[in-house]
Amino acid sequence: MNSILALVIGLAAIAVGYGFYAKRINKNVLQPDDKKATPAKMFMDGVDFTPANRNVLFGYQFKSIAALGPILGPIIAVQWGWLPALLWIILGTFFIGWVQDYTSIMIGVREEGKSFGALSYQLISPRSKIILLTFIYFYLWLIMGAFGITVGFTLLTITAVPLGVIIVILVGILAGQMTYKWKQDIILTSVITVVLSFVGIWLSTLQPVRDFFSLLYGYHLAEDGKTLVSPTLFLTVTQAKFVGSLLVVIICYFGAVLPIWRWAQPINYVAFWIVLLGVLGGVVGLLIWRPGMGDFPAFTKWTIGIGPLWPILFVTIACGAISGWHSLVSSSGTARQLEKETDALYVGGGAMFLEMFFAIMAFLTATVAFGSFQGYMDAGGGAAPAKVFSVGLATFMNHWGLPMTLGTVYGSVFLTLMALTIMYLVVRFMRVASAEALGDKIPALKNVHVGTTVALLFTLALIWLVPFLRIWVVFGAANQLMASLALLLVTLWLKSKGKNYQWTLWPFLFLFVTTIGALLYKAYESFFKNLPKIADPVANKIANVGQFATAEIVIGVVSLVLVVAALLLAWDALSAFRRGAPAPAKAKA
């Protein structure tokens, strides 16, 4: 397989999927109407309900859905071979990914910006609201753990990264001020803020800056005289990891409590350009270089270290094909900012197809950048996907002249922004979910600062206790299960409106069965394969028995809680489905 052929296949999937299938569904089934007032206009409050320019909203949507999933997932998944990974990225997006994102926006718009909790109460049963909110909270907690480790323990501990990230955030705040307070032209705002962001990334590479963060992190030479190490403070958390995780918490706190126009939307918009230009830079490098995959195998074996191809591959590539996180962003975020109904397909469907292309680029950093399968493994393989991507993207851009050092730093800042711009939205949804579920019994949780603080304390506990790969696969399973539940709600809503629901029902069934299987496999692995290893910690290379056992119990229990919640919701939904809602219309799909 040649890299250029992979890009062409991706572009063809976009042309057919968005240009034909999605537009046909849009026209014949959902039938958007610009004469209808959207929630953004009906309930405009300047906080969550805010009409946004469709191009700004596209940038916000893409940067709010495209996090580490479409990057790290494909890089981990190619351990099964390049063919299964590429097929799932393309077919998953074509038949499931854009469907969920687009319909989640439309159901939010048509139902006055209601959250999924309120919609489950309306469409399924009264108890389903609490069940779904419980599921969502645990699921979001896993996102914070998976991304928190990657950002706090890996990316922000690179001394050339933190300043660049901080400057991009400050520039994003400036973009919000220019757009909403100073009423500046969006093109002028974009040019100024993007240029300032790249200046900030360059400044972060300067040696005095790196020396400052090296001092802050307590870095010193190890006994070998070559490796930089940071002192361990507790468990396996070093000073660098501790400071990095605290930086994550501080950034997420402000993103969760400030109005959407002041922090999340403009920062995500600026970060969108950083990401898009990085992807374009990588594409240009590929077009110049035109590498093949060498001896990288199309298929390796059915079962690898993290589990069997089915169901684990389908949850390892957590966002490049389909992601439950997108449904939360689309329904409770984007739907409340949509200015016109006809913008929904462009924003929701378009952003998802762009993310698919982005996932293909991440897939190529693993399969072609290092020349061979062994080169990929030597670069870290599935155990170090962030490093593989940063070095791989820098390798692509080096072919049009960008120095490898600057390219690697840019790739690391790129990854950090991909995660952080999602994480503060995750915390925002966590505090909303806790307020909806427990606010009447514990009134303090209705306070945005209390709800946010509780979510962030849970986050620190998870990232300090549980290893990355143990969280990642369970997060991926929970993520895809959330997607199936979103499709379930949409299916019930379409049926209640007398519209064709087959195109959402079958994706729901496939995802539901697959993700339940993945979570049960991980629970079994935790309780019956990993926990018994503590009987012989030396032979199994377990450094801290207490931490290892706690991590496995957390993963196993959370997996089972998610399975039980999902099965209860599905049972109630089946009853709702049988209650005699209108038969589906014979609209063409």
Distance CA 573, CA 492 (A): 8
Q: What is the pLDDT averaged over residues 178-190?
A: 90
First CA to last CA across the chain, in angstroms?
Answer: 34
**Chain CA centroid to CA 461, Å:** 20
Closest CA to 105 of 461, 456, 493: 493
Q: Is 482 domain-assigned?
A: yes
pLDDT tens digits, one per residue of 79-113: 999 999 999 999 999 999 999 999 999 999 999 88
Who's near 249: CB < 8 A, 6+ residues apart? 456, 459, 460
The pLDDT-based confidence of 580 (bands split at 50, 70, 90) is: low
Q: Which residues of 263-287 are buried (b: 16+ CB within 10 A; e: fewer)?
A: bbbbbbbbbbbbbbebbebbbebbe
CB atoms within 10 A of CB 348: 30
**Chain CA centroid to CA 437, Å:** 24
- Asked if the bond preceding 39 is cis, omega within 30° of 0, the reply is no
The pLDDT-based confidence of 586 (bands split at 50, 70, 90) is: very low
Q: What is the pLDDT averaged over residues 445-450?
A: 93
Distance CA 274, CA 172 (A): 11
The pLDDT-based confidence of 284 (bands split at 50, 70, 90) is: very high
Q: Is 168 domain-assigned?
A: yes
pLDDT on residue 288: 95
Tokens of 247: 């930086």
Question: Is 0.75 topped by the overall pTM?
Answer: yes
pLDDT tens digits, one per residue of 35-65: 899 999 998 887 678 888 888 899 888 878 8
Q: Is 557 domain-assigned?
A: no
Tokens of 557: 């229990």
Q: Is 416 domain-assigned?
A: yes
Closest CA to 481 of 555, 401, 570: 570
Q: Is 522 domain-assigned?
A: no
pLDDT on residue 484: 92
Closest CA to 22 of 104, 96, 113: 96
- Check whether 191 has a pLDDT greater than 90: yes
pLDDT tens digits, one per residue of 250-279: 999 999 999 888 888 899 889 889 988 998
Domain tally, the chain:
1
Q: What is the pLDDT averaged over residues 163-186?
A: 92
Q: Which residues of 48-61 are buried (b: 16+ CB within 10 A; e: fewer)?
A: bbbebebebbbbbb
Q: Is 13 domain-assigned?
A: yes
pLDDT on residue 402: 92
The pLDDT-based confidence of 587 (bands split at 50, 70, 90) is: very low
Q: Is 550 domain-assigned?
A: no
Place of tokens 């998953």: 92
Tokens of 250: 């501080």
Place of tokens 């050092």: 405
Distance CA 317, CA 356 (A): 11
Domain of 274?
A: 3-226+242-517
Give residue 93's identity as a one-letter amino acid code.
T
- Check whether 210 has a pLDDT greater than 70: yes
Residues in the chain: 589
Q: Which residues of 133-166 are buried (b: 16+ CB within 10 A; e: fewer)?
A: bbbbbbbbbbbbbbbbbbbbbbbbbbbbbbbbbe
Closest CA to 40 of 24, 64, 56, 22: 56
Share of the chain above pLDDT 90, in %: 68
pLDDT tens digits, one per residue of 320-359: 889 998 998 898 889 999 999 999 999 999 999 999 999 9
Distance CA 66, CA 330 (A): 12
**What's the whole-number average pLDDT of the chain?**
91
Q: Tell me phi and psi for residue 228, to 5 degrees.
A: -85, 130
Q: Is 585 domain-assigned?
A: no
Q: What is the DSSP string of 452-507?
A: HHHHHHHHHHHHHHS-HHHHHHHHHHHHHHHHHHHHHHHHHHHHHTT---HHHHHH
- Check whether 299 has a pLDDT greater than 60: yes
Distance CA 306, CA 326 (A): 25
pLDDT on residue 583: 41
The lowest-confidence range among 225-229, 294-298, 359-363, 506-510 is 225-229
- Check whether 588 has a pLDDT greater than 80: no
Who's near 190: CB < 8 A, 6+ residues apart? 175, 269, 273
pLDDT on residue 125: 87
Q: Select the more confidently predicted residue: 99 or 470.
A: 99
Q: Which residues of 463-500 are buried (b: 16+ CB within 10 A; e: fewer)?
A: bbbbebbbbbbbbbbbbbbbbbbbbbbbbbbbbbbebb
Q: What is the pLDDT averaged over residues 518-523?
A: 94
The lowest-confidence range among 132-136, 350-354, 377-381 is 132-136
Residue 502 sits in a domain of what CATH number? Answer: 1.20.1730
The answer to whether 139 touches 147, Cβ cutoff 8 Å, is no
pLDDT on residue 585: 40
